[in-house]
């Protein structure tokens, strides 16, 4: 309940930030237009988020005949989690990663790269897919997609404000220096909000995935292996669409240094430590 309330507050904050930028660009009418756009984007994200993301990653759907072992693994885990069978996709990428998408458990999809299926053992891959199904069970997948869409829109609107200036509440041109400052800070604020939403939910999905698979140590081992291998293999689709990085089991972006401060994922070491603690207690 606390995480649900926290997420609702953070989603309200990211919407308010979008409206504030709208007000800066176009005054009071700009704020109202931004609110309408935010509602429209959330509606669009609700219905079409899974289709958009799967197309971005050129994912291909598989079934029992085309990928019997992988499909059967997801089906068995979905039954254990008491979830409807999701659609199953494979992404032809060397970078090891996986994600879940969709608006609810009845309309969910899980996807994994060929890279992750190649480098992980069956036990480790089972832990990863259980993690993704935990996201489905917790209904994280819609929230993460909507927050990603809003964060992307805030960056776009901030760039517009920087190049074309802004308006105050009376419609008069505002100080251009203020416009530049807001244009720089707004995307950072959106990233911090998005990060806050995602990090808490990753820990919960790790815990939930460990419970579904019954093997916390396998998920811990998978995370360590993905973290080590993924650093040298870029995931091109994620680099082109960085707002989708939060959906992955491991941050796929190559940014280091300052970019790491705004990572949507907790430190792998902390995730692994929590899972190993679960394994010791089981």
Mind telling me the catalytic residues? 132
Cα(23)–Cα(35) distance, integer angstroms: 10
Alpha carbon of 124 to those of 104, 226, 232: distances in Å? 26, 10, 20
* C-beta separation of 265 from 202 below 8 A: yes
Closest CA to 127 of 203, 214, 69, 248: 214
* C-beta separation of 103 from 52 below 8 A: no
- Strand-pair partners of 173: 167
- Write the DSSP string, 160-202: HHHHH--B-TTSPBPPHHHHHHHHHHHHHHHHHHHHHHHHHHH
Q: How far is CA 257 from the centre of its chain?
A: 21
């Amino acid at each position: 309940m606390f995480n649900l309330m926290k997420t609702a507050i953070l989603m309200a904050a990211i919407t308010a930030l979008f409206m504030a930028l709208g007000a800066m660009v176009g005054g009071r009418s700009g704020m109202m237009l931004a609110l309408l756009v935010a509602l429209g984007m959330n509606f669009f994200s609700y219905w079409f988020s899974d289709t958009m993301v799967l197309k971005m990653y050129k994912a291909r759907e598989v079934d029992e005949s085309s990928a019997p072992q992988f499909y059967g693994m997801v089906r068995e885990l979905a039954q254990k989690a008491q979830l409807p069978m999701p659609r199953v996709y494979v992404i032809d990428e060397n970078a090891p990663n996986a994600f879940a998408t969709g608006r609810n458990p009845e309309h969910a999809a899980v996807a994994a790269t060929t890279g992750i299926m190649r480098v992980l053992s069956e036990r480790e891959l089972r832990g990863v897919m259980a993690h993704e199904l935990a996201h489905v069970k917790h209904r994280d997948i819609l929230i993460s997609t909507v927050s990603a869409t809003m964060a992307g829109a805030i960056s776009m609107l901030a760039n517009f404000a920087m190049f074309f200036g802004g308006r105050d509440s009376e419609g008069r041109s505002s100080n251009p220096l203020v416009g530049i400052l807001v244009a720089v800070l707004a995307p950072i604020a959106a990233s911090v909000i998005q990060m806050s939403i995602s990090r808490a939910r990753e820990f919960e999905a790790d815990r939930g995935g460990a419970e579904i698979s019954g093997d916390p140590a396998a998920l811990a081992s998978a995370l360590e292996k993905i973290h080590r291998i993924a650093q040298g293999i870029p995931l091109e689709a994620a680099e082109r669409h960085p707002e989708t990085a939060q959906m992955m089991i491991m941050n796929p972006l190559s940014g280091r240094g300052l970019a790491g401060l705004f990572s949507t994922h907790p430190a792998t070491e902390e995730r692994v430590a929590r899972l190993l603690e679960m394994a010791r207690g089981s």
